[in-house]
Every structure is written in C-alpha cells, then in structure tokens.
C-alpha cells in the first residue's frame, strides 16, 4: 500500500464540527496520482514508488530524457510536471500506470506534509532570526544591528553558521502530525486541521505519519 500522495494546496477555510466548534483547515487537492516507476529492494535496495501528479502539461515542455522515462511505464502514461517518491507498506504494491487516489487516507489518522515555504527575499536579523535588537533610545546607534559576530585575536575570522541577515524562506519544511478533518473523494480534496507550508497553488507531499 502506498503511504503518500502528491497534492496541491488550494487554500484555507473553516469547518463547523458537530459540537459547534470551528476549526481552521487547509484544503489540499490530493491527487489523482499515477505510478510512474516502481522500485524494489532486490533491484534498488529499497521498496518505493515514484508518483506523478496528474495535470495537463504541454508535450513540448517535456524534454527527451523525461519523455523516454514516461514511456517506460509500458501503458503510454501521459507526462506529468511533478514527480515524487514515497514508500510502500505491506505486500500489496501498485504497478506502473496504476492510479493512487485520496482514499488511501481516512478521517481518523494523522499525516506529515512536506512543502516549500514562502520566499521572503533578503531579510534582516530581527525578522529572520528573531533577534531582540538594541535600545531604541536616541543616540544608541544600535537599533537593529547584529552586534558582535566573533572574536578579534583568535580565531580572527567569523565562525561558520553564524546567524546573519540573508535569504529567508523558500526552504523545504515538514509539518508533522496534522489531523485529517475531512475527505472529499468525489473532488479529490483533503481537509487537514492546521496550516501547511507554502503558498496557495504550491505542491506538497502528504505522507502517513510514522510517529
């Protein structure tokens, strides 16, 4: 059985539960996905499948190596834009060309979601690393400055890993143990309790949590 699925973040909304409470949820278009490649422990050293998120892509935007890769599925699978690997569990492993839908999840389990956070461009220390900053009084000349970044005599250089201003965001982020609030199998929608990294329209990987 496949443990994960590729999805596209639609946005956030609210769900009204039976007890009258309102919970914030993220709506994800979870699939449909197609199995493009199957990996086995005998040949590749581990059991997994390569999934492709089914959506339209112009054939001219697919290069020749990837065109040959899709032809290896054996059933003339249409090219896809997004490919991701996910593990499989149990003896029932899908074959190439099989579809994987949102029904692999149920409404009473938890999932891990992997996405790419929003890019914030060049950010300073206070925004990027939550530094406190200096005094705001007149004449301090130390409002949002980094302060000391190393010693002078030894080692006479800036230590690697020092927190500084720089590119913020646009990183791989994994959010664990999000509860599945609702599943809409007709429209391939997954409602997850909580926030998911990335902007609306961003691609994410939804996996069954192992914790």
Q: Could you report the per-residue pLDDT of 45-63, keeping only the tens digit for each?
A: 888 888 888 888 787 888 8
Average pLDDT over residues 91-113: 82
Per DSSP, 45 falls in state: S
Tell whether the model's pLDDT for residue 92 goes beyond 80: no
Tell me, yes or no, whether 93 and 52 share the same domain.
Answer: yes
Tell me, yes or no, whether 48 and 138 share the same domain.
Answer: no
CATH number at residue 181: 3.30.160.810
Tell me, yes or no, whether 138 and 155 share the same domain.
Answer: yes
Q: What is the pLDDT of residue 109?
A: 87
Tell me, yes or no, whether 63 and 160 share the same domain.
Answer: no
Tell me, yes or no, whether 96 and 133 share the same domain.
Answer: no
Q: Is residue 190 within 8 Å of 105, Cβ to Cβ?
A: yes
The pLDDT confidence band at residue 170, using thresholds 50, 70 and 90, is very high
The DSSP bridge partners found for residue 30 are 7
Tell me, yes or no, whether 108 and 197 share the same domain.
Answer: yes
H/E stretch holding 64 reads: helix 64-71
> Which residues, including other chains, have CB under 8 Å from residue 78's CB and lie 6 or more apart?
54, 70
In terms of pLDDT, which residue wins out, 118 or 99? 118
- DSSP H helix total and E strand total for the chain: 2, 12
Distance in angstroms (rounded) separating the CA atoms of residues 198 and 44? 32
Backbone dihedral region of 201: left (phi > 0), alpha (psi from -120 to 50 degrees) or beta?
left
Residue 79 CA from chain centroid, whole number: 21
Tell me, yes or no, whether 60 and 152 share the same domain.
Answer: no
Residue 159 CA from chain centroid, whole number: 31
Tell me, yes or no, whether 131 and 69 share the same domain.
Answer: no
Lowest mean pLDDT: which of 54-63, 86-95, 107-116? Answer: 86-95
Percent of the chain at pLDDT exceeding 70: 97
Average model confidence (pLDDT) for the chain? Answer: 87
The pLDDT confidence band at residue 24, using thresholds 50, 70 and 90, is very high
Tell whether the model's pLDDT for residue 123 goes beyond 80: yes
Domain membership of residue 141 as a residue range: 120-168
Q: Is residue 33 within 8 Å of 51, Cβ to Cβ?
A: yes
Count of the separate structural domains present in the chain: 2
Tell me, yes or no, whether 104 and 56 share the same domain.
Answer: yes
Tell whether the model's pLDDT for residue 211 goes beyond 80: no
The pLDDT confidence band at residue 77, using thresholds 50, 70 and 90, is low
Tell me, yes or no, whether 31 and 79 share the same domain.
Answer: yes
Tell me, yes or no, whether 150 and 201 share the same domain.
Answer: no
Tell whether the model's pLDDT for residue 75 goes beyond 70: no
Tell me, yes or no, whether 70 and 154 share the same domain.
Answer: no
Question: Which residue, among 205, 208, 184, 209, has the nearest Cα to 27 in the 3D structure?
Answer: 184
In terms of pLDDT, which residue wins out, 80 or 137? 137
């Amino acid at each position: 059985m496949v443990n994960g699925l590729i999805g596209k973040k639609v946005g956030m909304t609210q769900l009204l539960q039976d007890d009258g409470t309102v919970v914030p949820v993220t709506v994800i278009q979870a699939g449909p996905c197609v199995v493009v490649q199957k990996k086995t422990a005998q040949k590749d050293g581990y059991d997994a499948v390569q999934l492709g998120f089914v959506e339209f892509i112009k054939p001219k935007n697919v290069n020749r190596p990837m065109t040959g890769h899709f032809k290896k599925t054996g059933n003339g699978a249409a090219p896809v834009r997004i490919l991701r690997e996910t593990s499989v569990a149990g003896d029932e492993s899908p074959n190439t060309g099989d579809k994987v839908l949102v029904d692999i999840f149920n409404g009473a389990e938890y999932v891990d979601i992997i996405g790419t956070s929003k890019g914030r461009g060049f950010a300073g220390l206070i925004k990027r690393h939550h530094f406190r900053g200096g005094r705001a009084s007149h004449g301090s000349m130390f409002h949002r400055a980094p302060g000391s970044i190393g010693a002078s005599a030894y080692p006479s250089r800036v230590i690697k890993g020092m927190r500084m201003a720089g590119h913020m965001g646009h990183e791989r982020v994994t959010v664990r143990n999000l509860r599945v609030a609702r599943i809409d199998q007709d429209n391939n929608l997954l409602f997850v309790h909580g926030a998911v990294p990335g902007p609306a329209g961003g691609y994410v990987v939804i996996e069954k949590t192992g914790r």
